[in-house]
Amino acid sequence: MSLHENFGSGNTDANPDLKPNDMVPTPRHIARQMIDFFTPALRTAVLNGKLTVLDPCRGTGAFYDQFPDFTLYGVHYNKEWCEITEGRDFFDWPYKVDWIITNPPYSIFPQFLEKCFEVADNVALLIPLAKLVSSLKRINMVMDYGGIVSMRIIGASKCGFPFGFPAAAIHMKRGYDGNTAIEMWPPTYEEE
């Protein structure tokens, strides 16, 4: 059963006040590589029982379309999405999920991150690094949630981002108190 049965009208006439930097789609090969970083953890979660992965702002689906298919494991697995331009506002999302993986809208990043922490036990975001570390309040918010499991750093231009700051795939986990692995993004997959 989809969690969406009682959520979102799918109204494509939705007219949100979006900023240009909120609409930057992730190149599909970068999204696929980022999903691959977390696939072993996703597989373990599936094998341990129920797993729901949410892209809370799927845009044209670079992440959502490429979430792995675990149907072979024969256990309950859901992939879900929101996208405000299609009438599904993430701020109205009512359920808990196991993972969020996405590239979020930047102009509302603090509120978006707060909502991610409210609903998900693992949050993996592709974001300009500065978005997370430029505010002590935000760093405290991350530490109160748990902590940062890993950061893989990549030049923004490789992600097609229209700014010069380095970006990173950052995995935050509820209740996490281990070390943070910081490494450079491995060689990127070929562009499709």
Residue number, 80 or 176, with CB nearest to ligand SAM: 80
Q: CA 133 to CA 131: how far, in whole Å?
A: 6
CB of 129 to ligand SAM, least distance (A): 15
Cβ–Cβ < 8 Å for 165, 175: no
> Which is closer to ligand SAM, CB of 62 or CB of 148?
62
Residue with the CB atom nearest ligand SAM in the bound state? 59
Q: Which DSSP symbol is given to 186?
A: P
Question: For ligand SAM, which is the closer residue by CB, 101 or 148?
Answer: 101
CB of 107 closer than 8 Å to CB of 29: no
- Of 173, 189, 184, 143, nearest to 44 by C-alpha is 173
| 64 vs 145, beta carbon nearer ligand SAM | 64
The distance of closest approach from Cβ of residue 188 to ligand SAM in the complex, given in angstroms and rounded to an integer, is 15
Nearer to ligand SAM, 75 or 138 (CB): 138
By CB under 6 A, name the binding residues for ligand SAM.
18, 22-26, 31, 55-59, 62-63, 82-85, 89-91, 102-103, 105
Query: Which residues have C-beta within 8 Å of that of residue 69, sequence separation ≥ 6?
Result: none
Nearest-approach distance from CB 75 to ligand SAM, in angstroms: 26
**Smallest separation (angstroms) from ligand SAM to the CB of 78:** 18
- Nearest distance from residue 31's CB to ligand SAM, in Å? 6
Residues 6+ apart with CB under 8 A from 163: 21, 128, 156
**Contact yes or no for 106/21 (Cβ under 8 A):** yes
